[in-house]
Amino acid sequence: MSGARRAQPVARPAPKPRAAAKPRKAAAGRGIAAKALLHRWWKVTLLVALVLLGLPLAHAIFGEVAALLGGAVLFGFLLGRWTAPLR
């Protein structure tokens, strides 16, 4: 390869600078997020009330085994309904 010239690399044009990012609008979903948070705490409050009030009442009326079994079934049902994916 004596005497052969190497091909010069082709110069690329400089990349164009990007346009400045547009400022984002204010969050439109804040009201929805607040409702979801309120809804979640309402469920927690209901669950705590059922445990603190309903379980001793069921224990007094039906006995220990029935109260624990009923509480477990009710808790499983509520937990399943609250965590089910929306259609």
Q: How does pLDDT run across 33-68, given as a tens digit for each residue?
A: 777 778 778 888 888 898 899 999 999 999 999 999
Does 61 map to a domain? yes
CB atoms within 10 A of CB 58: 19
Q: In which element (H, E) is residue 84 found?
A: none
pLDDT at 1: 57
Does 68 map to a domain? yes
Does 81 map to a domain? yes
Mean pLDDT of 24-31: 62
Does 85 map to a domain? yes
Joined together, the tokens standing for residue 31 give 């009201």
Joined together, the tokens standing for residue 27 give 């969050």
What is the number of structural domains in the chain? 1
Does 11 map to a domain? no
Q: What is the mean pLDDT of the chain?
A: 82
Domain that holds residue 87: 55-87
pLDDT at 64: 93
Does 41 map to a domain? no
Does 24 map to a domain? no
